[in-house]
Each structure stands twice: as structure tokens, then as C-alpha cells.
Amino acid sequence: QLQVGSANEYGILLEVIQVLMDLNLVISKAYITSDGGWFMDVFNVTDKEGMKLKDKAAIAEIEGYIRKSLGADSRYMPAKRRSVGVAASTDHNVIELTGSDRPGLLSEVSAVLASLKCNVVSAEIWTHNTRVAAVMRVTDEDTMLAVTDTVRLEMIKERLSYLLRGNNLSRGAAMAEASGTSATNTERRLHQMMLSDGDTEEFHGHVPAQPQRPNVTVRNWKDKDYSVVTIRCKDRPKLLFDTVCTLTDLRYVVYHANIDASNNQAYQEFYVRHVNGSPMNTEAERLRVIQCLESAIERRVSEGVKLELCSNDKVGLLSEVTRIFRENSLTVTRAEVSTRGRTAVNTFYVRSSAGEIVDQKTIDSIREAIGHNIQVKGHPEAPPAPQKKESPTWFLFANLFRPRSLPSLGMFVR
């Protein structure tokens, strides 16, 4: 159990959760409370395997990392939205893409980058509601450093922008080349990009059926001037980050919260006000928050079969692998691409282009083409059980004022 206290600055809760994510800690329960100027967070955490932390040296290292990340010299700075422009670090270029999703799009994008002698060193791709967003870090194929030639950068932007506009259903497409030194968390940036791109809007074309949508409600507690946001859905990794990230980017401050994840189900309850100090005053505002939270939860839901590829890195590997997926009529719904030294570690979630479950014959065909270093890690899961309804204000009376003994690992970070 971790206890973290700090001044209640806008966005500080998201920063704390991000630090715990960086340490590969899983939050099973959390209690957050604030008097407006100071907040106290108590987190029940495990390692990523669900095991209790027992190693004293590891615990001390975690304490040190949290203190360093959230100490007196640490300040939260809201992320700035980027515009289309040319900038680079010495190590790599960051390419941001948004547009309409379609089968084979990742294969086409990676092929264009390969043809322009760009090597993809890392990438994260999300799809939701017929839209796609990607953050890719690329280097020059020859120097393995950032591309600095402005003419070449403009050519990359032109080719990718043209590719993203290729779908007749497109509601617009965007490509930006941003600074490789940006400190904005990639996953937060993907949420911002998809929100800005309008993936929360209803689309009346074909969208794969989902087992069960998240249950999100918003009610005002007028006596205390709070809006109470309640979320019930299937639990998954990084769910709390996604919901708090969305509330923060919508400019709400969390004053109290109760988080519980058990039996594969998640319950989250937030007491929030807008940064201007007011609760949600209109029905339109309430519906927008509900819609944005539902989309944030769904974006990272893994549709299809999970394939993991670990192999020696080489230029053009992503283009080669995604081409094989395309030739086997598979579409990528989410992807994480990374490079560790000379090893490429890639995770793809794929499904049939027709929306059907990927069969064993297709998996065997992919293994034959790529090699047996690709592993199948999962299949679509059954819908979760119905969720229990709770009072929107039970947390304050059940937990906020109940005395608790704080753990031996209690810590204040100022």
C-alpha cells in the first residue's frame, strides 16, 4: 500500500498514476481525498503479475523514484497541442497520424516510410469508431539519427497525408512531424489526438459489435457542488490512467475518488469540479463527459487475437510484417512497436478484415511466412457479467470519513 500526499494542483493525480505505471505497478484499489489545497492518495498496488511487493530493496527503490518524480522540484505542466510543423531531436523524428481506419492502412504507412528510407524504432497505433491514431518514432535508415533535411521531411508529410486521405469515408486526416524531445506521454497524446479527431462521434457505417459498453453516469451532488462520475466496466491494465487522463484533458479536477478492481470488474467513482470551481451545469456538458469517458475506455480494448513478435531488428521489419498480415486478410486494431537494443519487440492485435475470428489456418500461414518466433497470446473473450449498481455517494460515507491505519510503506511526497 502506498500513501502519497501533495499540493492539489490541476493534473497532479494523473502524474501520480503515470509514475506508478512507469514502475509497472498495478493499482487494485485507491482512495483519493482532498481539502482543495492538499490531496492524499492511498493506493493498493501489486506487480504486473498480481503479486504483493515484498522485496525491501525494490520497495525502497520505488519510494525513491516516486519522491524524485513528484518532489518539491517537480511541477505538472499541461501538454500543449501540436500543430503541423517540422522539428526534431538528434535521436529521432516523431510522426503523428490521424484519419479514417481501413484494412491494410498500417501496412501502407510502413511501406511508405520504408520507401523513403525511414526506420521505425517505436510506434503505438490505436483504432476506435472507424478512426485511427498513431505516434511513430523514426530515424534515417543510414545514420540511425533524426531526419533533418527539410525537403525530405516535407516529402514524408506529403506522402503520408495523401495516403491518409485515400478513403472516401474520411472525415479528414492529419499528419504532424513533432519534436522528438517532447515529454508528453505517448498514450496521453493518443487520447488527445483521437478526441480532437472526433472518434467520440457516432458513425453509422459498419463498426464491429462490442460485448458490452462501459456504464458511465454523471450526477450532481448539489449540497457539495460536486459532479459525481461513476464508471463500471470490465477491468483491464491502464484503465485508471485512461479515465483520469480524459477527465484531466477535459479540465476537471478530482477532489475525491474511490477505485476498486476485483473479479475482473472495475468500479471507479470520482468527485470532480471544473478548473473554474463549478460542477457540470448543463446536460450537454454531462453528455460530453460520458461520451468522452466511454471512448477513452474503449480505445484500448483489445479486439481480436494478440500476436507477439520478438526478433532481431532490421530496417523495414514493420513493413514486412504488416504486409504479411495484409496478404492474409488481417487488419490491425492496435499495435505497440518497440526496439530494445538490437531486438524488435512488437505486439499486434489483429482480426479478419471481414470482422471474423482469426482461424488456426491463418495463424499457421503467418508463422510460415514470418517464422515461429511469433506467439499467439489471446483470443476474443466472452462478455462480462452484469454489474452491480451502487449509490453515487456511497464512497464519501463508507470510506472518506472512516478511520484507517496507514501502512508501513506510508510516505509523504511534497
**332-368 pLDDT tens trace:** 999 999 988 888 889 999 988 887 788 889 988 998 8
Beta bridge partners of 318: none
Per-residue pLDDT of 394-407, as tens digits, reads: 444 444 434 343 33
Residue 266 falls inside a structural domain: yes
Specify the range with the lowest mean pLDDT, choosing from 22-26, 151-155, 231-235, 305-309.
22-26
- What is the model's pLDDT at position 91? 85
Let me know whether 191 and 236 are in one domain: no
Of all helices (H) and strands (E), which one includes residue 159?
Answer: helix 150-164
Q: Is the pLDDT of residue 380 over 50?
A: no
Domain count across the chain: 2
Main-chain dihedrals φ then ψ at residue 53, nearest 5 degrees: -80, 125
Let me know whether 166 and 221 are in one domain: no
DSSP letter assigned to residue 410: B
C-alpha cell at 144: 540511425
Whole-structure pTM value: 0.77
The per-residue DSSP string of 237-283 comes to TTHHHHHHHHHHHTTEEEEEEEEEEETTEEEEEEEEEETTS----SH
Let me know whether 178 and 313 are in one domain: yes
The answer to whether the CB of 400 falls within 8 A of the CB of 33 is yes
Residue 357 falls inside a structural domain: yes
Let me know whether 241 and 179 are in one domain: no
- What is the model's pLDDT at position 52? 84
Let me know whether 107 and 190 are in one domain: yes
**Pairwise CA distance, residues 239 & 260, whole Å:** 11
Let me know whether 308 and 366 are in one domain: yes
**Pairwise CA distance, residues 302 & 335, whole Å:** 10
Q: Which of 280, 313, 330 is the last residue of a domain?
A: 280
**Pairwise CA distance, residues 240 & 35, whole Å:** 22
Residue 227 falls inside a structural domain: yes
Let me know whether 107 and 194 are in one domain: yes
Residue 294 falls inside a structural domain: no
Let me know whether 188 and 307 are in one domain: yes
**Pairwise CA distance, residues 192 & 195, whole Å:** 5
Q: Which domain holds residue 189?
A: 93-200+302-377
If we measure between CA atoms, which residue out of 88, 99, 100, 93 comes closest to residue 117?
A: 93
Largest CA-CA distance found in the chain, in angstroms, rounded: 65
Q: What is the dihedral of CA 183, 189, 190, 193, to 10 degrees?
A: -140
Per-residue pLDDT of 269-306, as tens digits, reads: 999 999 999 999 999 999 999 999 999 999 988 778 99
Per-residue pLDDT of 172-215, as tens digits, reads: 555 565 544 455 689 999 999 999 888 777 654 444 555 578 99
Residue 318 falls inside a structural domain: yes
Q: Residue 31 maps to which CATH number? A: 3.40.1020
Let me know whether 191 and 309 are in one domain: yes
**Pairwise CA distance, residues 62 & 213, whole Å:** 35
Let me know whether 231 and 275 are in one domain: yes
Specify the range with the lowest mean pLDDT, choosing from 239-253, 378-392, 398-412.
398-412
The per-residue DSSP string of 168-237 comes to TT-S--EEEEE-TT--S-HHHHHHHHHHHHTTTS---S-----S---EEEEEEETTTTEEEEEEEEE--T
**Which residue type is seen at 281?**
N
Q: What is the mean pLDDT of the chain?
A: 79
Let me know whether 190 and 317 are in one domain: yes
Residue 287 falls inside a structural domain: no
Residue 401 falls inside a structural domain: no
The answer to whether the CB of 261 falls within 8 A of the CB of 27 is yes
**Pairwise CA distance, residues 6 & 38, whole Å:** 6
**Pairwise CA distance, residues 285 & 385, whole Å:** 30
**Pairwise CA distance, residues 21 & 238, whole Å:** 8
Residue 385 falls inside a structural domain: no
3-state secondary structure of 320: helix
Let me know whether 101 and 191 are in one domain: yes
Q: Residue 337 maps to which CATH number? A: 3.30.70.260
CA-CA-CA-CA torsion sign (369, 370, 376, 380): negative
